[in-house]
Structure 1
Amino acid sequence: MNRFIKTFHDNSGTELAARWILGGIFVYASYDKVLAPAVFAKIIYGYDLFPAPFINLIAIIVPFLELVTGIALIIGFYPRSAALMVNAMLLFFITALSINLIRGHEFDCGCFSINSGAQETFAGTLIFRDFLLLALGLYIFFYRYERKLCVLSSPG
């Protein structure tokens, strides 16, 4: 078992697949939100977590962060830094979803589509999914071996 775990962890192909999967998910998630930030702002308003003056700013910044960090993971542009940003966003998303789960709010999360009714509404499922994505992001962040297909990467 230990040999399997070591082989899995030391494998640059596994790290590459993790980067492409997580990066692809974040690029896909950003698409609708980049094209329609006003609709995404309404979804953010539904979370009932942020002061009104910041909602439009969040609706503009978050999708572009998702897009840029997703592309950075895919092409291998400072993948540890990109994974750190993705992990920070995932922790933020998990926190926002958890607060609304505790409150008992039903809402459109705006995770992958801004189309009303296109999202799951049970926050517990979304939190579980985000923890799985966080595990991928942590694997990428803590990976210490040679990376495949990186445009630019910091050592170690």
Structure 2
Amino acid sequence: MQHPVRSRLLFDLIGTAARLGLTAVWFLSGFAKAADPRQTLVAVQGYQVLPDGLARSVAAVLPYLEIALGLLLLLGMVTRYAALASGLLLLVFIAGVISAAARGLSIDCGCFGGGGQVSAGATAYTAEILRDTGFLVLAVWLVIRPRTWLSIDALARRNQDFDDVEDEQDVDDTSFSHGVRRSGR
């Protein structure tokens, strides 16, 4: 049987790796898209699911949404919610690739820049779906267990634990000063 402290440390390590892995994904993807907004629009339009105006809005916002998710995850700030948003976005991406494959489109997903039409047979839909599913697993891990090292969440949790200890001491001091005897003392 594994020691509980070792299990917690192992799970914290896995969570930290998942958090930093997703950070890298969102930074690589978001910065590549932000660097070439015209190509990002071509990639979004390539899926042929959004009207032109909405495709333009998605292409304009998507890189910065990805960068924001990467920043939240890098800092370990509201990790569970950033992971939940990451998971939902990854599900949209996976659905988009499945939809493109099912409709016989020949496009590059544009996941890390680029995108748009490619020659027939030059698609990598299966690899893209498997890759994004792997990223989704990282996001799900963090939704279920957002506790990680080197994070603002950990600092906040540590401060909350410290405040709770102080509150307990205040209650103990108040109880003692009013002559209330607590059991076990």
Distance 2:31 2:37 in 1: 10
Match among 132, 135, 138 for residue 136 of structure 1: 138
Instruction: Work out whether 1:122 is the aligned partner of 2:124.
Output: yes
Check the 8 A contact 2:106/2:123 in 1, yes or no. Answer: yes
Once the two structures are superposed, what CA deviation does each residue of 1:91-123 show, in whole Å capped at 9, x if it has no partner? 000110001111121102111122777xx7221
Q: Which residue of 1 aligns with 2:112?
A: 112
Check 1:101–1:8 CA distance in 2 against 1; reply closer, same or farther (3 A cut).
farther
- Structure 1: 5+ residue runs without aligned partners? none
Q: Percent identity?
A: 26
Instruction: Work out whether 1:36 is the aligned partner of 2:36.
Output: yes
Check 1:28–1:84 CA distance in 2 against 1; reply closer, same or farther (3 A cut).
same
Q: Which residue of 2 aligns with 1:150?
A: 151
Between the two proteins, the alignment pairs up a number of residues equal to: 150
Structure with more contact order per residue of length (Cα contacts < 8 Å, sep ≥ 6): 1
- Aligned counterparts, 1:9-88, within 5 A: 11-88=11-88
- Structure 2: 5+ residue runs without aligned partners? 158-185
The normalised TM-score by structure 1 is: 0.85
Shift in Å at residue 142 of structure 1? 0.3
Cα RMSD after superposing both structures: 2.5
Q: Which amino acid aligns with 1:147?
A: T
Distance 2:103 2:124 in 1: 12
- Aligned counterparts, 1:93-112, within 5 A: 93-112=93-112
The normalised TM-score by structure 2 is: 0.73
Distance 1:49 1:21 in 2: 29
The structure with the larger Rg is: 2
Runs of 4+ in 1 over 6 A off after TM superposition: none
